[in-house]
Structure 1
Amino acid sequence: MHLSAAKGLRRASLALGAALASTVLCATVSVASPLGASGPADPDLGASARAQRACPVVYFDLGETLVHTADDGTIRYLPGAASYLRALREHHIRIGLITNVPPSWGATDAERAARLKKEVDATWRDSTPFAWGDFGDRILTPRAEAERKPAPALWQRAKAESGRCRLVYEAETAQEVQVAASQGFVPYQIGQPHRPAFLPVGLVELLGRLPR
């Protein structure tokens, strides 16, 4: 590559990174509570409370966000999804799923999640197994038809269960990320041109350190 072209590419990459950071941070400010609402930091706040306040949790949609269902019904990771989940795990960032399944699949989130795992695993054709273990008990599904996305109920439940952690939501549909933003999540729509496939891990960590 010619030297001037290489410099131009670096400048473009830096500009993209700056624009992305600005977009995400502005979205954070727009959905967060005003900084003055909670007053100055409490000097008596315990270390565990400060850690909980700083922690980020990244929630995902499932279909066409992390996995793709082919015409023959088989399922595999979307490009980059497996490595992204691995990077989040290596940085000790918790993750969860907010996904629609039939409420009849079980009486609890755990029962419906077990059925979801069974359905996905039965048609899984990727060389890398799906990282179910990384999600723990953070797989939220509708308890009734009225809770199906884009109704806000699942995001509200995720928020209630996450304490003061900063919450991120990544999905492929504009409607879902807009609803997530309205519920206080930092939204990121995947699959958009000229931006990373997923919200960069470094930005997730930065968001987790910002005051709420």
Structure 2
Amino acid sequence: MNAKFARKSPRRILLVLGSVAAMTVPAATAGAAAGKAPHVAGHASPRGGCVVAYFDLGETLVHTAEDNSVRYMPQAAAHLRALRARHIPVGLITNVPSSWGATDAERAAKLKEAVDQDWKDATPFAWADFGDRIFTPRTEAERKPAPALWERAKKAAGGCQVVYEAETAEEVTAGGSLGYVAYRTGREGWPAYLPAPFIAALAQLPGTTAPARPSEPQRR
């Protein structure tokens, strides 16, 4: 976010955001949540707010072809780079078999293995950007569209604004109903992803709690 934009008043920011609000499912302002997880620190604005951007994985960030090869979706790598440049933490909220592990870390490791073994894109998938912000079902009952994964990810964001980007209307609607600014990707005539400046500006809205020490996604 440039300095000129950062100096805009909250009212002006709301007007700017309102001009593209039709691209999103409106979300309730995220209040300070109890039990903030220490591993999540959102992009902090000069006004003291923060934001974390979460994604679905398959057909949102990556595409599996008929030959089972896996690649980035068009513009996905560029979108992640744009968020990285603004120091906006990113995470995944994605369904995998609950049998892949007893913890999110174990299931995430299995997910990485499954994606990497068939990865054919010239650019490696940016796993380092996601860190341990990869939320997967602990039981089959937690699989999306059940609310459990979104609720866990939102709690981990510790009061930051939360964004969710996915390719299906069902998941976008579910995320929006749970307080996310939710955006449906891959629609003809719309931006492939929610623009990074818009996501960064969400941190300046009232009602977010900035982390004491914002983390920075690893650079590539």
TM-score (norm 1): 0.79
Provide Cα deviations, 1:105-150, integer angstroms capped at 9, x if missing partner. 0000000000000000000000000000000110000000000000
The equivalent residue for 1:177 is 172
What is the identity, as a one-letter code, of the residue corresponding to 2:81? R
User: Contact conserved, 2:49 with 2:204, CA < 8 A, in 1?
Assistant: yes
The equivalent residue for 1:159 is 154
Of residues 129, 137, 148, the one that matches 1:134 is 129
Secondary structure at the counterpart of residue 20 of structure 2: helix
Provide Cα deviations, 1:41-90, integer angstroms capped at 9, x if missing partner. xxxxxxxx987961110000000000000000010000100011011001
What is the identity, as a one-letter code, of the residue corresponding to 1:27? P
User: Do the aligned partners of residues 194 and 50 (structure 1) sit closer, same or farther apart at CA in structure 2, a change above 3 Å counting?
Assistant: closer
The equivalent residue for 1:45 is none
Identity of aligned residues (%): 57
User: Contact conserved, 1:165 with 1:208, CA < 8 A, in 2?
Assistant: yes
The equivalent residue for 1:206 is 201
Aligned: 1:190 with 2:185: yes
Ranges of 4+ aligned residues in structure 1 off by more than 4 Å: 17-20, 49-53
The worse-fitting range, judged by mean Cα deviation, of 73-82 and 191-200 is: 191-200
Aligned: 1:87 with 2:85: no
What is the identity, as a one-letter code, of the residue corresponding to 2:131? G
TM-score (norm 2): 0.76
The separation in 1 between residues aligned to 2:45 and 2:80, in whole angstroms, is: 25
The separation in 2 between residues aligned to 1:110 and 1:24, in whole angstroms, is: 33
**What residue ranges of structure 2 are gaps of 5+ in the alignment?**
1-15, 32-43, 208-220
The equivalent residue for 1:66 is 61
The equivalent residue for 1:41 is none
User: Could you tell me how far 1:19 is from its partner in structure 2?
Assistant: 7.5
Higher RCO (Cα < 8 Å, 6 or more apart): 2
What is the identity, as a one-letter code, of the residue corresponding to 1:32? T
The equivalent residue for 1:22 is 21
The equivalent residue for 1:99 is 94
User: Could you tell me how far 1:193 is from its partner in structure 2?
Assistant: 2.1
Give the total of aligned pairs. 180
Q: Which one has a larger percent helix, Structure 1 or Structure 2?
A: 1
